[in-house]
Structures are given as C-alpha cells and as structure tokens.
Structure 1
Amino acid sequence: MLYDKKNTNNIIKIIIFVFIIIIAVGLILFMDNNQKKAAIIPAEEVKNEQVNNEIEKLKQDNENAINNIQKEALLSVRPIDETDYFRGNIDAPVQVIVYNDFDCPFCADFYATVNEVIEYFKDDVVVASRYYPMRTHTNALSAALASECAAEQDKFWEMGDKLFMANKSGDLGIEQYKKDAEELSLNLVQFNECLDTEKYKGKIQEQLTEGQIFGITGTPGNFINGIRAPGAVPFADYKDSRGETQLGMKSLVERQFVKFLDSKF
C-alpha cells in the first residue's frame, strides 16, 4: 500500500509537470505567433502606403500630361479657313475666333462687341463664329441647328442676329426659328426638314469637341491670333471686380496688330 501511494504521488507530480510544460509551450507559441502578426501588420501598412503614394503620383502625372496637352492645343487652335463662317478679310493680320452658344446671355452681349470690332478695324480683322452649345442651356443645340440650316441657304449671320435677339427676349425655340426663317425669306420646306431631322448635329458636336480640346469650358470662348480671351470682353478697357484695369477687345486686337506690323520690319 505504501508503494502504491508513493507511486501514485509520483504519477500525479509527473502529470502536473507535463501539464505545466504544455501550458508553457502553449504560451511560448502564442506569444511567438502574436509577435509574427505584429511584424506582418506594419509591413502591410508600409506596402499599402507605398501603393497609395504610387497612385497619387500617377494621378499627378496624368493631370500634368493633360495640362501639357491643353497648353499645346491652345497654341495650335485651328486658324480661320474657308470652312468657317466669317466676317471680314480672311487674309487679315488679326483673327478673332468665337466659340458661341446662342442660348448664352454672355454670348449675346459679346455679339454686339464683335460687331464693334468689325466696324472699327474693318479689313484688318476677320471674325469667325463656331459652335459650342453648353449642355446646361436648353435651347443651345436647337438654336445652333437653326443657324446651320439657315447657313445652308447663305443666311448664317442674318439668322445669328435673330437668334441673339430671341436670346435677349427669352423667345428661343423651334417655333421662333421657323418664324425667323420665314422673315428671312428662306425656303421653308428645306429649312424645316433640315431643322426637324437635326441634319447638322454631327458638325456642331465636332466643333464642340474641338473647343473642349482647345481648353474652352464656358462661352463665349474667344481667341485672338491664337491667344485666349475668354468671356464677354467689352470693347473698351474696363475695371474688374478688384478695381484693376483690364484690356478690352479694342486694345487686345490693337496689340496683335502692332505685333504683326513689328514682324514686317
């Protein structure tokens, strides 16, 4: 009996010892695993940060590339040619290109300024009108179509006068265009068919896209010998909202004309 009791105590001690060993090994493994996880997490965070940095760099590179493309495009804006609707001497030393929206109130104001420019500079300037119908303007596209359909019968500028008058009075719309066509003695069957089928929508869209490539974001979008002069710039010099004097169209055109004269000597 004494042997059995002593033997039993030894067995219990062995079991307790083994149990302690198991617990110790478990703790060691648990701590080691946590240390590995702790080591992995920072590495993943570092990797994610590197990826985010690369993404931001790519975004910046793309933005810079787009800006460079736009700057190059601005320098190479398509000059006026025989495919344009223009007023004045096509060989004039100063070219004014206007990307118009007939439903834009600022374009209506600038249209009057353009008339002043043509009257003042006569054969020394040529002015061309191109399409830039803003999607935010309800009647922009339909008015451009009416203009193009009138141009089909050699009445582009006459229809332009009427469209901007309707712009001022708030009367733009299909019925008004057809009324204007009648007043201009156009072939109404031809005009109405042209307008109703949106015959020149593709051409108008092409000029809109062209303007976007040249960096235009609003109307009127203007260029004077390839240099941007956006907005409804008045004829005479003016003061901006900060009270600073800005050049009007008269001064801007004169500046380009002087450059032309200087280039001759």
Structure 2
Amino acid sequence: MSPQNNSKQSSLFGALFFPVLIIGALIVIAILVMSFSGNKRTAPSPNDNVRQVSAEAMKALRSQYDQLGESMGDPNAPVTVREFGDYQCPACGQFESTAERIRQEYAESGQVRFIFFDFPLPMHANAQSAAIAAGCAARQDKFWPYHNKLYHAQSRWSEQSDPSSTFLDLAVETGLDSGKLQACMNDKTPLANINAEREAGQKVKLRATPTVLVGNTEFVGGPAYDKLKNAIEQALAANGQNAGTD
C-alpha cells in the first residue's frame, strides 16, 4: 500500500473517530442526567402516607360501619377520629401510646369521637383471636381497659401457639369475669362484627395497619402525636360549627 493511501486512511479514521467519540460522550451524559432526574422524580414525598378518603367511603362509614366499632367520646362531636388496628401488629402496638393520649385529651373531653375498628391481618396468626377477646371484653363493658392491656402485653401472647390462657390472665388483670370471657371466646361471638369492621377497612381501601382517619384525612401508619394533634386541631377549627359533617 502506498504512503498516499495510508495518509488518506488516517485522515478518514480521524474524521470518523472524533465525531463518534463526541456523540458517545453526549449519550453517556444524557443517560446520567435522565437517571438522576428519574431518581429525583421517584423520591418519596413526605405526604405519600396521607390522602383524602372519598366522599362515598366516608358516607358508608357514617351510615353503616361507625356503629360497629368501639367508640369513645361524644357521638355528636364535630370531628371523628377512626383507627383501624391489628392487635398483633408491632406498629399498632407502638402507636397505642399515641392513640391513648389522643383519647384522653380529645375523646374523654368530648371534643372528638374516637372509633376503633378491628382489621386483623391474615399474616398474624393470633390477631383475630385477640380481636375476639377484646370484643368479648366489650360485652362486659371493659373494652378500652382490655384493649389497652392487649397492646401493652403484646409481647406476652403474640408468638404463642395458643394465646387463650394469656387472654384469660389479662381478663383477670383487667377485672373481667374470666369464665364469661372464655365462654364468649369459645363461641367466637364477636366474629361477625369483626368481619364487618374488616369490610369497613376494605371500603376505604386500607393499605396498612395502623391507619388513622381524622375526618376524611387518612394517615397510613401510626402518625406522630404532634402530626395527629395538628390534624385534629385543624379539623376542629374547620368543623367546630358543623357537628357530624366529618
């Protein structure tokens, strides 16, 4: 091959190589920019766990399901706080101290109505049995003391193959007639009501436990006390003159 042909090939190689190199670099930069932008767009928002429940679902809660849950506070309070919980759920157990504080500060004073709905999850083997025990305690007018006790003693019974004896121990500690509680538990008397409460959770498209509704604002997971208090205060300010409109 002549020197002249080598020179032509070198010139051609240089003419093609550098544009290709530049284009390749631009493609890599574009991919990096798109990747960064994509990550930025999909970063979790602080409000991902807060949403507004539909008017249809709220109407169903008020007309069909609120009467099934265990409630505390004035039935005509301007704001209703609803909690969907699973007694074996660790997050629900952690949230219980906040829920107790809200009930003491707002429900006992009559400012809000607090309603607890059972939503035992299939993954928790003892959750439904605990809900039945709590429902049986309600038949002795001791729902809230027993409810609190179940959460506070969660570690005692949650992993037992048969927690019945522990549920009876908790009944004695709470001042219940353990014989009546056992008979009720054996008959599973509250189960139909629990299934209806689970249906209420499905109506609002429940995604996790605990879920808390302040009016029609839903908090998935146990909201911090300050966040929940702020939502209640805002709801009271907005609905204080419109009892029952939540």
What's the TM-score bracket when you normalise by the shorter of the two chains?
Answer: 0.5 to 0.7
Asked if the contact 2:69–2:116 (Cα under 8 Å) also holds between the matched residues in 1, the reply is yes
Counterpart of 1:78 (choices 61, 85, 93) is: 61
Find the structure with the greater CA-based Rg.
1
Deviation of 1:219 after TM superposition, in Å, equals 0.6
Higher RCO (CA-CA < 8 Å; seq separation 6+): 2
Q: What is the TM-score of this pair, normalised by structure 2?
A: 0.68
Asked if the contact 2:82–2:115 (Cα under 8 Å) also holds between the matched residues in 1, the reply is yes
Q: 1:88 to 1:261 in 2, by over 3 A?
A: closer
Q: 1:94 to 1:71 in 2, by over 3 A?
A: closer
1:131 aligns with 2:118: yes
Letter in 2 for 1:216: L
Q: What is the TM-score of this pair, normalised by structure 1?
A: 0.63
Alignment map for 1:51-200 (pairs within 5 Å): 71-79=54-62, 83-121=68-106, 122-167=109-154, 169-172=155-158, 173-200=163-190
Residues in 1 aligned to 2:216 and 2:187: alpha-carbon distance in whole angstroms: 34
Q: Which runs of 5+ in 1 are unaligned?
A: 1-69, 237-247
Letter in 1 for 2:194: I
Deviation of 1:81 after TM superposition, in Å, equals 5.0
Asked if the contact 1:85–1:130 (Cα under 8 Å) also holds between the matched residues in 2, the reply is yes
Residues in 1 aligned to 2:210 and 2:242: alpha-carbon distance in whole angstroms: 29
RMSD: 2.2
* % same residue: 25
Q: Tell me the SS of whatever aligns to 2:222.
A: coil
Greater per-residue helix proportion: 1
Letter in 1 for 2:92: C
Deviation of 1:105 after TM superposition, in Å, equals 1.2
Q: Cα deviations across residues 146-200 of structure 1 (Å, max 9, x unaligned)?
A: 0001111111001101100121x34342111011112223222221111122222
Asked if the contact 1:75–1:227 (Cα under 8 Å) also holds between the matched residues in 2, the reply is no
Asked if the contact 1:73–1:214 (Cα under 8 Å) also holds between the matched residues in 2, the reply is no
